[in-house]
Structure 1
């Protein structure tokens, strides 16, 4: 080795030694036990007590059979975790050693070598503890003793003079869905649910970084890098941003440093559908005497975002303006992707977000009864141009406001917003899910016989948390360009007329109110942040509910147990009776339940989009599941697309042509969500019989009232279009064309409900093109073609027009693909 190489090697070694470092303790040999027992069992960190009990074959898998009932005892027990680790001689040389728990679920005591270090009471907080003085040069014993969240919550509830609904979950700062929901099991977990590590550092460390966007033009982006630094000693240091050094003076203790940084000729982060979500890397380091003490790496996006609420003749607008342009929001609601969230792989996050992008979504609402999601979720949203409506973790109940609770929530909010605010995907912070709604509309005060003072106290508690504490904490911790706050979703309950004229709306007249799907055409709000309908999961996921051979029967106790809504089956049957002929065959019932769900959401989304720009957002409930279940999801627990997700992909296309039939008049609309506007367009309409015969053809042109992103065409009287034909024997084939005759988009419109259609038996043929591609063809209309097989089909549950074919890609080869259509369900 020559001298220059040797000196360079020494220099690099010096930097590496001086730099702060982290060491995960999750990989150590952890053990756990019931606190009342003596025998320790192996545990996996991150994890939950349930997953550890499953791994040790102490309990059965609660996702299978009716096993959920068999594991309820776990929530009432206390659980202990421990590991033994050593600190190396080199690690000892560091001035500071911090023990960091990124997530403890929920009430625990942390002991190191028998010394009580910390009591915890919040699943959503990070616990950072200086521990060098408590460590030994030999073996160190780290213990975490968890107390039952249910029992502790009950004790906390006793401090309140009136009965609080959903007690004890309201008193416990942990994921509210763990206590059971109408789509999820009751599995009240405990455990070390995020990584635990030792952090080693010397002299000073970077604690937190906020990137404020001060200005943004085509020429440059002016940033303000706000950094919190903890210093052990005062002195001169060098703070570098992407290699550009800045000399700074630090005092002992906490320092807040602000430095400007410019990006020339910036490329914007654009939401899905508008362009690329361009990102920039920021590498930030703190140095002393050429030694790197601490460094951080960030990926940021440059964009502007506004929530526009302006009074108009009909109420008040509610829409997002991104990079100066109004964005029609198309998206969904997100629940945790597993009841045991440590088990959610990065690949699952990436797939669910990519599936959302493929379905033309541009926003996901993180629902307030789950968790602040893993970094991988927000990273995936950043990379795929998906905006995030971020609820804080409060849902559908009353919450206390004593000082201890408020202090706890304040630290929770600080931890989470400091972690998340630099993500360009974060669009809005929302105080809670349906807490205002629960207080005003759900009748709890009457049910629990509240006094006037009790009711006033509930409202005072609410205001303290959601109108004072959270927004004030945001103001203190979030840069101005990233601080859009909305106290509660919805802002007004769906039973009140104002819910349709201002704010955001959760419309549950369909499903909960059992109103027909067609009511969606009337109940259109300014921003629809929740609405939905249940459908069964795919056959593959339904079979996964069983530990043994599946018994696919609607009366099977296992299948009944995987429907968590008290009246779910009855509601599905009632709606199915309205629109379809209910089959006795299980496979056909499963197929129709998915079609029913997709049909309801299609009607809703088309009504919302036709109302643009009065309505500027539609977020259906819900994208995903936390276990195998009959639910509102469009993608089931195993990641399979239900009929709904295929329909969402069609309904959310950037450009669509839609039909509305009202009082004997057919109205046609062209919707365009692209930045590039429509130019001279018209709609060609073919009246087509189910056998393929064209009964009539006409064209219609814009009626002159062209609004931003939506064109209404000259209406047509239904009788004039199909004078001698039955509505249940024809459909309209719509083609939106430009001035050259090029087809922009197409759609079909059926006049009758599915059960009333006089369908002809289709001769469906499947031709294998390659191991992963097939072609499906038909002689007559094949309505709702359903391809069955353990693979992902590029399209499914689609209408195949007479004498047409469609090529379909498969995610993996199949020996045989089975096929059904709606006609098959009408023959029983």
Structure 2
């Protein structure tokens, strides 16, 4: 068998050259591997926490420094291979799963590798460089900032939204800063490193693809690396079925097909179960086991229906032939130092996503290809994944050395993740097709390459060869070729669509003019076929904010707040987006709540509108699920892992069964949303009510909503026309589910100060809080992190009519602490932003 020995111990890191402070220049710091230099310096007490106050600026020098990592290890050739293997053909490989980023690797003073790609793996034959006894392994990292600047000059400056040329280096784009992200410009051995010893042959690549889910047929492509030329046998076992093939002489690749009897289909969450099958590939020669590889697969089919219709070009996901309305969120690295994200943290985040009724996570193209644990957990939880290739918001050179690096990283990562049942789309880039058309690139590029070769030629060819059952799209947003197209859109002949890449009528769309220029009710101006990005900002939870920022006084514009607000004119847009709906509060805690609530209102409005237009609109992926540090951003879950009110907005709007009242031409409609496998029938009750609860108008209508369908009911004029818009609302109810429409904006309404009774009861998982409203209370939310930072309420944004009660489970607090919940800074509502 191939033997593997991790090389994670005994590392130190020190300054190679660059503008480091004097007290660090002469110090060898203990280094964690996997890790990055920031975390080593932090652990040694040599730098402050980069996430606090304005430490980001104080630590900018780290990205300008060359760093040297070094360790020693012992080697004994006789012990390196398992007993029974042929040592005469022994190979010893140094394997790095990830180096961040531009590095020279030296073993015993001999250069064995030079790297320039964070997203690749590296395997180097070091048999001739190893010595018996002690060996010295060194990795010298170049400053990523200086390297990127140099390469941008060599390759030619190209368009991007931020100053540092992240497009000129194959490194996580957001590590150079984003409009929600801290600048880190990390260096380090950020993934595992090991010494692998083997003889005769090893498994170089294993790529299972389910080619017939109903029949249980899986085809496994296998590549073998050899240290000899004798025959070898590969065998595949999955679900109790086996098959094998022999590779003779110099053969290095084969395909093995296995049929699993009675294979159960894998389904996304909400559509069925997620059965997974362990698949094992074994490599043998002359009865001796040489190597093994293990994967988990699920039997499912996936396609995106883009057959043109009367309204344009849809983009409808089908899993196992069943249309799936996509309820999604965009994903960024969960920590600005991704090495800190382990399996447990992935699981916490993805379970939060599922608890918010999401069924798809889009891994955005400015971050990283996530670790195996991310995709494994998505398979287990039934969360669909959409993975961008790592190109974001910039023009990218197609010349060397980037061209070869892009191909190598794509092959590495498609091979690694292409078998996952959850993976339903690989996408060429984020917003680059759109940028080429609308952001002034053509003039400034003046004929330079910008990435079209990658998106239209290289990447689809790699996906087709290595993961042929995984769909591919050239970009997001992207318009598939509509029927009857007679010319290409744009001036580059490689752009293969006659439609604008961000067309409302075709394919996927990103909607950002709302946040940047308009008020959020204008989401209803759009009926896209599929919306892959849209968002609204809000601050993190209060406990996260006050942990990270020590300003005194703390105000929306105090220095630390501005450091932790990365969006261009972010606070101006927050204010402009609030004032049409609520008055701007004067005190900081109320400002914080107002901006959080307005964020939730904006996304609720968008999601309910988009969902009400299904199946014309086939899905919505909000920006963004998570944060990578404490920051004001578009996230639903902040950098300390705490849910913001937006989390409850997602959960409510994406509920399997929901009701929404929507304005349409000719009046209001109540839309019954049924994303379950069962029909939903009953008496729909529509009432117009006064804020005191009195019923002014009442209407009943029988509805019968098919599984996975919507039903639209016209609201009668008697209900739709308010007598006093400031003090009346529409209510639609079916069973215990309801939708609301307030005729007036909160700031112009007759909302009074909330009068709520609070009762706390011990529960095995925390404390149950029963709220009873004695007047209309709009969007009551418990900000329990103010009591205990990791406390979480299982519901939020609850509107109660007079006399109604609701019970909310709060985890992470005691009954004694629950006495604080009735405080107006913890029990929050929209009323507090309106009533004097």
TM-score by length of 2: 0.90
Residue 470 of structure 1: aligned partner: 459
| Separation in 1, partners of 2:309, 2:665 | 28
1:506-538 CA-to-partner distances (Å, cap 9, x unmatched) read 0112111x2121211111210100011101111
Query: Aligned to 1:657, what secondary structure does the other structure show?
Result: strand
Find the partner of 1:536 among 530, 534, 539: 539
Cα offset, 1:312, TM superposition = 1.4
C-alpha spacing 1:131/1:597, structure 2 compared with 1 (3 Å):
same
Q: What does 1:192-271 correspond to in 2, within 5 Å?
A: 192-217=189-214, 220-233=215-228, 234-237=230-233, 239-242=235-238, 248-251=245-248, 255-271=252-268
Q: Whole-Å Cα distance in 2 between the matches of residues 562 and 379 of structure 1?
A: 33
Q: Could you say which residue in structure 2 is the equivalent of 1:565?
A: 567
**Aligned residue in 1 for 2:508:** 504
Cα offsets for 1:118-171 (capped at 9, x unmatched): 100100000001112211221111000011122122222222455544552111
Contact 1:236 1:247 in 2 (8 A): no
Deviates more, 1:816-825 or 1:418-427: 816-825
Secondary structure of the corresponding residue to residue 510 of structure 1: helix
CA distance in structure 1 between the aligned counterparts of 2:523 and 2:287, rounded to whole angstroms: 65
| Rounded Cα–Cα distance in structure 1 between residues aligned with 2:710 and 2:796 | 28
Rounded to whole Å, the distance in 1 between the matches of 2:340 and 2:528 is: 37
Matches within 5 A, 1:666-705: 666-678=668-680, 680-701=681-702
Q: Contact conserved, 2:675 with 2:708, CA < 8 A, in 1?
A: no
Structure 2 CA distance for aligned equivalents of residues 724 and 528 of structure 1: 33
| 1:556 shift after superposition | 2.0
Checking the alignment, whether the CA contact within 8 Å between 1:660 and 1:666 is kept in structure 2 is: yes
Distance 1:699 1:224, change over 3 A: same
The whole-number CA distance in structure 1 between the counterparts of 2:141 and 2:75 is 25
- Identify the residue that residue 772 of structure 1 maps to in structure 2: 767
The superposition leaves residues 390-413 of structure 1 with CA deviations (integer Å, 9 ceiling, x where unpaired) of 100001111111132211111110
On the 8 A contact 2:33/2:191 being kept in 1, the answer is yes
Aligned match of 1:797: 797
Q: Give secondary structure in 2 for the equivalent of 1:186.
A: coil
Q: CA offsets per residue over residues 588-616 of structure 1, 9 Å max, x none?
A: 11111111011111111111111111110
CA distance in 2 between counterparts of 1:92 and 1:822 reads 67
Counterpart CA distance in 2 for 1:228 and 1:757 is 68
Kindly indicate whether the alpha-carbon contact (under 8 Å) linking 2:660 and 2:738 is maintained by their aligned counterparts in 1: no
C-alpha contact 2:596 2:645 (8 A) present in aligned 1: yes
The worse-fitting range, judged by mean Cα deviation, of 774-783 and 388-397 is: 774-783
The one-character-per-residue Cα deviations of 1:175-206 (angstroms, maximum 9, x if unpaired) are 00011111111111111111111112232222
- Corresponding residue for residue 8 of structure 2: 26
The reply to whether residue 486 of structure 1 matches residue 466 of structure 2 is: no
CA-CA distance at 1:33 after TM superposition: 3.0
Q: Aligned to 2:329, what secondary structure does the other structure show?
A: strand
> In the alignment, is residue 521 of structure 1 matched against residue 512 of structure 2?
no
CA contact (8 A) 1:179 1:188 kept: yes
Q: Do the aligned residues in 2 keep the contact of 1:98 with 1:130 (CA within 8 Å)?
A: yes
The DSSP-based 3-state class of the residue aligned with 2:141 is strand
1:188 is aligned to 185
- Identify if the C-alpha distance between structure 1 residues 603 and 117 changes in structure 2 by more than 3 Å, giving closer, same or farther: same
What SS does the corresponding residue of 2:447 show, helix, strand or coil? helix
Partner of 2:496: none
Question: In the alignment, which residue of structure 1 is the partner of 2:743?
Answer: 751
Are 1:456 and 2:447 counterparts? yes
- Provide the C-alpha distance between the structure 2 equivalents of 1:782 and 1:469, rounded to a whole number of angstroms: 56
Task: State the shift of 1:435 in Å.
Answer: 1.0
2:62 equivalent in structure 1 = 74
Cα RMSD for the two superposed structures = 2.3
Aligned match of 1:278 in 251, 275, 278? 275
Q: Which runs of 5+ in 2 are unaligned?
A: 19-24, 82-86, 480-488, 490-498
In 1: Cα distance, 2:722 partner to 2:532 partner: 43
How far apart are 1:57 and its partner, in Å? 2.4
Q: 1:826 aligns with which of 811, 817, 834?
A: 834
Q: Is the 8 A contact 1:406 1:469 kept in 2?
A: no
Q: Tell me, in whole angstroms, the C-alpha distance in 1 between the residues paired with 2:643 and 2:56.
A: 25
Per the normalisation by structure 1, the TM-score is 0.91
Aligned with 1:676: secondary structure?
A: coil
Question: How big is the shift at 1:445?
Answer: 4.8
In 1, Cα distance between the equivalents of 2:245 and 2:233?
Answer: 5
The answer to whether the 8 A contact 1:32-1:43 is kept is no
The superposition leaves residues 232-268 of structure 1 with CA deviations (integer Å, 9 ceiling, x where unpaired) of 3312536242576656433455621222212121211
- Is the 1:309–1:317 contact (alpha carbons within 8 Å) kept by the matching residues of 2? yes
Cα deviation, residue 231, structure 1 = 3.1
Aligned with residue 112 of structure 1, among 103, 107, 111? 107
- The within-5 A match list for 1:43-442 is 43-88=31-76, 90-93=78-81, 95-160=90-155, 164-165=159-160, 166=162, 168-217=165-214, 220-233=215-228, 234-237=230-233, 239-242=235-238, 248-251=245-248, 255-442=252-439
**How far apart in 2 are the matches of 1:559 and 1:723?**
44
* Paired position in structure 2 for 1:763: 755
CA distance in structure 2 between the partners assigned to 1:145 and 1:416 by the alignment: 25
For this pair of structures, how many residues does the alignment match?
785
Distance in structure 1 (CA, Å) of the matches to 2:675 and 2:201 = 49
C-alpha distance in 1, partners of 2:156/2:578? 46
CA distance in 2, matches of 1:354, 1:610: 26
Unaligned runs of 5+ in 1: 1-18, 737-742
